[in-house]
Structure 1
Amino acid sequence: MTNTALITGASRGLGLALARSLAEAGWNLVLTARGAQELRQAADELGATAIPGDVTDPEHVARLAQAVPELDLLVNNASDLGVTPLPPLAGYPLEAFRVLLETNVTAPLALVQATLPALRAAGGAVVNITSDAATGAYEGWGGYGATKAALEQLSNVLSAEEPAVRVWWADPGEMNTRMLADAVGAEEASSAADPAKVAAALRDLVRSRPASGKVSLQ
């Protein structure tokens, strides 16, 4: 039987690297991201299903859940950095912070809720991509880090409430991605880890199926 994974933020970065890694292992993939053209190119490359859209849109979440009546793995990878240049909390625009919470916290929970019946039936797994900014006091990263801290606690409680489903909240570390470049500049980002290496570690995690909990991918 072929395993099925739903990956958000799959048009670039870690999401695309993980999609490539799982495709090599024979997984059936449903991919989503806001960038429709990039997403469809990725799906064509991998023989996957592309469903472009915004994970903060309830109708889009419903479409994704309908597309995976059987689901072995949900990867909540889609994320928003927030305001750039990264502002201190004293001046963080509150409306922008509300949008950040909607993307990085509410949307992953909505997808979990929508796909839990299929995940329970399959004895599947949820991977929520988090960050060391969830626990580190890094100047400028307060808005983004607070959302990742909330996502970690949601994952922690979900793991206790859903014993039939594996739940991992995974810190990928710094990766050479567009998001990191937006935060720290392209030159500094270029020295970070290749997302493909992090994706390989994530695929190993899924294959080995350890107990639910927080994991580091580097």
Structure 2
Amino acid sequence: MTTIALVTGANKGLGRETVRRLAALGWDVFLTARDEARGRAAAAELAVRFIPLDVTSDESVTAAAKTVHHQVGRLDVLVNNAGVGAPHTAVDETRAADLQDVFDVNVLGPVRVTNAFLPLLRAAEHPRIVMVSSTLGSIPFSGQPHVLDAVPPQLGYPAAKAALNMITVQYARALDGIKVNAVEPGYTATDLTGHRGHQTVAEGAGPIVRLARIGPDGPTGGFFDQEGTAPW
């Protein structure tokens, strides 16, 4: 039976590379993106299915889930990849309104998408969910000297990824029979990092693909990076 996967925010960067790698395995992959023109172009290049999906819109997410239901009737793998950065505003100058966009996409987005696709995941024999997170949301990691030297204090992005990590753990506890894990791709050259990352997208997508491919005896409720287990 062909494995069916869906990747959010996949018209470029890590999402696009993840789609490419999963399709190369012979999987039936849905590439989703908020920008319909770019999403359709990427899907055509990769010879995969396309669905428009804006993770900040309940209506868009519901429509995407209905499309998958009508076309294939189940979902084996959900990769919650869509994410945005946040303005590098000084902590003491950051307002609540400055956090709304990054939390809506990076935290509420995965909740919207996961909840909408749960019936399709439960229809699969061995469902998996991969949350694309970051060790910038890890409290032990954020306190390391090299991080303190390299990353200025900020509220938005680290707090959003820390929230996503906790959401991952709670889903893993609650969703019996569904493997739910978070992954740190590493510092990858994408639009999100201003292409300053030292990894290629091929390298960054590696841990995502690895977690998408776990078997029934694989982990759940974990946080993983290129080397293995990452600190919460």
Query: What are the residue-to-residue correspondences of 1:1-218 with 2, within 5 Å?
Result: 1-69=1-69, 70-83=74-87, 86-122=88-124, 123-135=126-138, 136=142, 138-181=151-194, 186=195, 189=196, 192-209=198-215, 210-212=218-220, 213-217=222-226
Is the Cα contact below 8 Å between 2:185 and 2:206 reproduced in 1? no
Separation (CA, whole Å) in 2 of partners of 1:141 and 1:195: 25
The TM-score normalised by the length of structure 2 is 0.85
Tell me the SS of whatever aligns to 2:123: helix
**1:7 Cα offset (Å):** 0.5
Aligned residues: 209
Q: Which runs of 4+ in 1 moved over 3 A?
A: none
82 and 195 in structure 1: CA distance in 2 versus 1, 3 angstrom threshold: same
Partner SS state of residue 10, structure 1: coil
What TM-score do the two structures reach when normalised by structure 1? 0.90
In structure 2, runs of 5+ residues without a counterpart are 144-150, 228-232
Q: 1:53 to 1:71 in 2, by over 3 A?
A: closer
* Identity level (%): 33
CA apart distance, 1:22:
0.5
Alignment CA distance shift 1:24-1:179 (3 Å): same
The amino acid that maps onto 2:219 is: A
RMSD (Å) for aligned C-alpha atoms: 1.6
Cα deviation code 1:117-139 (max 9, x no counterpart): 11122131110110111021542
Give the distance between the partners of 1:201 and 1:97, measured in 2 at CA: 28
Give the whole-Å Cα distance in 2 for the aligned partners of 1:141 and 1:42.
Answer: 33
Unmatched 5+ residue regions in structure 1?
Answer: none
| CA displacement 1:113-166 (0-9 Å, x = unmatched) | 111111122131110110111021542442101000001000001101112000
Contact kept, 8 Å, 2:130 with 2:211, in 1: the verdict is: no
